[in-house]
Structure 1
């Protein structure tokens, strides 16, 4: 009873501050709100606070990260600029030499009047960080030079981009000349030539066949041809023909043995009818090709 009496007297002696009571109630309400929002317990609320502190510390380092990235960007731009300038110098140094060698190769491919040019241009781009001759220019994985090959097939003609030359046969022979000159540096291992025999015969066909055979020592060369001079030099032959059946076209390819190869080349001389003379000529061409 004495203890109870003392406690009652102590409580009665306390002075309650209404504003302090309201503050405590508001704090309790805030705690309950946090518990509902972040998991239902004080422990989960404290975990969230800790995670938020860590995230805040990470965010405070963003300025430093951005600064580091800007430095790295500047370093990479400077390095790219240096490499692109070096690449431009090499291209400028060798473009004329390569053009001359390709023109010489054109002579061997029965295009003696051909004029070949390597042109380099740079495209202005205001927002670019790369500079050429004092101006910002467009750039990419191969530098800032826009390289294009121009050709005039005959004397007096204005050189045109190779991509705008109409004759498929001319384009094939030009590409044969280019590939022959650059074969040591070209990473492409298989080359396909279509219509390379278009518009040529006799000595010109023989020269083209020699160039193809020479190129095949370094590359795998696939050539679609109707000329015996070219076909006779091949190591392997596929015969391609079309057949019609029930209004449907089928394309068939057959690997030829020696006798079939001889017959196919003979047909290039005499047409569908195989003649004794055609067989003889085919054999002579094949013997000549084997040396």
Structure 2
């Protein structure tokens, strides 16, 4: 029943004896494991609380710094408020015990709401530019793309956006879709995007502009008619780049 030989029966008896011993000692093992688990849980809780405190401090600092950055970008009343709260899920997590959510409002007197629900496209672009400016030294991303980040801006604010883009571009590649000549003129290279219809199909084409083409397109952005005054203004805007 237990084996085909005496040796097999002896081996089986040893296995059974070991299993009986394991069962008899299981209560002690469970108690030891539970004690170790409680110890590790206490260590986790200590570090999780410390991490939460550091996050709260960082959230306050980021809120202030972002306020300054967004004011430079034409959003003087904007508030970006990271909200740090203890997660409802009580199980230990590698990222700690917190849930972090970004709250936002652009107008004075309003309570910040979930950023993802209230922010516009133009506001989001400027928030990302402000964040990237603050985090530039620690951000490993090599290419940043901004789509019409200058929407609704002009004059001094457009120049401020352009300066921040240029600042970012010193350490990584920045691609920016823009309709403002003052911002476009700060670029080292220009790509012209157009839609063309060929055989009843529409294609989007992109090509690199040569020096004179850059002047023409900047002039077109300035007044739409490429007057001599606009062309001269475009040359002045591009002068640092064309001569560089």
Query: What band does the TM-score fall into relative to the shorter chain?
Result: 0.7 to 0.9
Distance 2:199 2:45 in 1: 63
Paired position in structure 2 for 1:280: 232
Runs of 5+ consecutive residues of structure 1 not aligned to the other structure: 1-29, 35-41, 131-139
For residues 206-230 of structure 1, give each alpha carbon's deviation from its aligned partner in whole angstroms, at most 9, with x where no partner exists.
1111111112223332211111111
SS in 2 for 1:111: coil
2:200 pairs, out of 247, 259, 276, with: 247
CA RMSD of aligned residues (A): 3.4
For residues 44-78 of structure 1, give each alpha carbon's deviation from its aligned partner in whole angstroms, at most 9, with x where no partner exists.
x9789969977995897695987786666556544
1:146 pairs, out of 99, 105, 118, with: 99
SS in 2 for 1:150: strand
Runs of 5+ consecutive residues of structure 2 not aligned to the other structure: none
The answer to whether the 8 A contact 1:77-1:129 is kept is no
Alignment CA distance shift 1:180-1:50 (3 Å) = same
Deviation at 1:238, TM superposition (A): 2.1
For residues 84-104 of structure 1, give each alpha carbon's deviation from its aligned partner in whole angstroms, at most 9, with x where no partner exists.
222211111222122111111
TM-score under structure 1 normalisation?
Answer: 0.68
SS in 2 for 1:184: helix
Paired position in structure 2 for 1:260: 213
Paired position in structure 1 for 2:76: 112
Alignment CA distance shift 1:143-1:219 (3 Å) = farther
Higher Cα radius of gyration: 1
Distance 1:52 1:244 in 2: 86
TM-score under structure 2 normalisation?
Answer: 0.79
Distance 1:221 1:153 in 2: 26
Between Structure 1 and Structure 2, how many residues are aligned?
A: 240
Distance 2:203 2:21 in 1: 70
